[in-house]
Chains A and B, each alone.
Chain A
Amino acid sequence: MSLRVLEVGGGPAAGYCGKLFARWGAEVIAVQRAEPLMASPADRSLDHYLHHGKQRVALDYTREEGRDLLDRLAGQCDVLVTDEPARIIEPLRLLEAGEAGPPAVRVAITPFGLDGPYRDWEATPATLLALGGYTALMGDPGRAPLTLPIRYLEYQSGQLAYTAALAAHLGGRSVPDAPTVIDIGMLEVLASLSQFTTVMWTYAGRIRSRHGNRWENLHPTTLLPCADGWYGVNALPAFWPAYCYLIGHPELVDDPRFASNADRMEHADELDAIAFEAFEGKTRRQLLAEAQEQWRVPIGAALTFPELLEDDHLAARGFWEAADVDGKRVRMPGSGFRLAGRRSEPAE
Chain B
Amino acid sequence: MSARPLQGVRILDLTQIWAGPLATRILADLGAEVIKVEPPLGRGPAVVTIRGGIYPEGGPGERPWRRQGLFNKLNRNKRSLAIDLKDDEGRGVFLQLVAECDVVIDNFSARAMPSLGLDYDQLCEVNPRIIAVSMPGFGMDGPYRDWVALGPSLEPMTGLTALMGYGPDAPRVTSMAIPDAMGGVTAAAAVLTALQRREETGEGALVDLSQHEGAVAFLGEHLIEYQLTGATPGRRGSRHPVFAPQGVYRCLGDDEWIALSVRHNDDWRALGRVAGAAWAGDARFATPEARREHHDALDALLEAWTSRCEPRPLMERLQAAGVPAGVVLSAPGLLADPHLRARGFWVELDQPDVGPRPYPGTPIHITGQPAAGDWQPAPDLGEHNAAVLGGLLGLTSEEIDGLRARGVIVDRPPG
Contact = CB atoms under 8 A, between A and B. Distances in A.
Contacts of B203: 341
Contact of B188 (A146, A163, A292): A163
A232 B164 CA distance: 13
Contacts of A62: none
Contacts of B30: 163-164, 167
Interface residues of B, number: 163
Contacts of A49: 220-221, 224
Contact of B55 (A135, A188, A197, A204): A204
B126 interface: no
A60 to B, nearest CB: 20
Given A150-B222, A175-B367, A183-B365, A124 B175 contact: no
B319 A122 contact: yes
A196 B52 CA distance: 13
A291 B310 CA distance: 48
B69 A203 contact: yes
Nearest to A320: B223
A300 B213 contact: no
Contacts of A123: 324, 326
A334 B218 contact: no
Interface stretch (B33-41, B83-91, B333-341, B380-388): B333-341
A193 B208 CA distance: 22
Interface in B125-152: 133, 135, 138-139, 141-144, 147-152
Most B CB within 10 A of own CB, among A114, A128, A175, A299: A299
A302 B156 contact: yes
Contact of A131 (B22, B161, B327): B327
Interface stretch (A66-74, A233-241, A248-256, A272-280): A233-241
A45 B172 contact: no
B228 interface: yes
Contacts of A112: 339
Interface in A16-43: 20, 24, 41-42
B360 A330 contact: no
Interface in B357-404: 357-369
B193 A44 contact: no
Contact of A340 (B166, B208, B322, B362): B208
B326 A130 contact: yes
A328 interface: yes
B207 interface: yes
Contacts of B243: 124
A326 B364 CA distance: 38
Most A CB within 10 A of own CB, among B121, B241, B248, B258: B248
B149 A131 contact: no
Interface string A116-149: 1110011110111111111111111001111111
A315 B183 CA distance: 20
B268 to A, nearest CB: 13
Interface residues of A, number: 154
B159 A170 contact: no
Nearest to A164: B364
B232 interface: yes
B200 interface: yes
Question: Interface SS of chain A: helix, strand, loop or mixed?
Answer: mixed
A332 interface: yes
Contacts of B172: 138-140, 146, 212-213, 223
A328 B227 contact: yes
A199 interface: yes
Given A136-B329, A333-B220, A149 B164 contact: yes
B331 interface: yes
A2 B185 contact: no
A319 interface: yes
A146 B237 contact: yes
Given A204-B54, A223-B172, A302-B156, A113 B162 contact: no
A79 to B, nearest CB: 11
A64 interface: no
Given A20-B189, A145-B257, A192 B326 contact: no
A56 interface: no
Contacts of A166: 192-193, 195-196
Given A127-B261, A195-B181, A198-B360, A170 B121 contact: no
B113 interface: no
Nearest to B184: A193
A146 B153 contact: no
Contacts of A82: none
A312 B247 contact: no
Contact of A216 (B175, B190, B357): B175
Contacts of A303: 156-159, 161-162
Interface stretch (B1-9, B93-101, B277-285, B406-414): B1-9
Contacts of B51: 260-262
A75 to B, nearest CB: 19
B26 to A, nearest CB: 7
B189 A203 contact: no
Given A205-B57, A300-B154, A333-B220, A199 B70 contact: yes
A133 B208 CA distance: 32
B142 A316 contact: yes
B103 interface: no
Given A124-B261, A198-B335, A199-B70, A317 B210 contact: yes
A100 interface: no
A118 B335 contact: no
A332 B120 contact: no
Contact of A129 (B162, B166, B259): B259
B368 A339 contact: no
B388 to A, nearest CB: 23
B244 interface: no
Interface string A172-204: 101100001111111111011111111111111
Contacts of A128: 326
B357 A202 contact: yes
Nearest to B139: A317
Given A130-B258, A180-B367, A191-B334, A331 B223 contact: yes
15 contacts: A115-B342, A129-B259, A139-B172, A144-B247, A150-B222, A185-B365, A191-B334, A191-B340, A198-B331, A202-B331, A260-B51, A314-B213, A317-B139, A336-B182, A336-B216
Given A166-B196, A192-B363, 8 more contacts: A42-B221, A124-B324, A135-B248, A146-B166, A150-B222, A300-B154, A317-B142, A342-B121
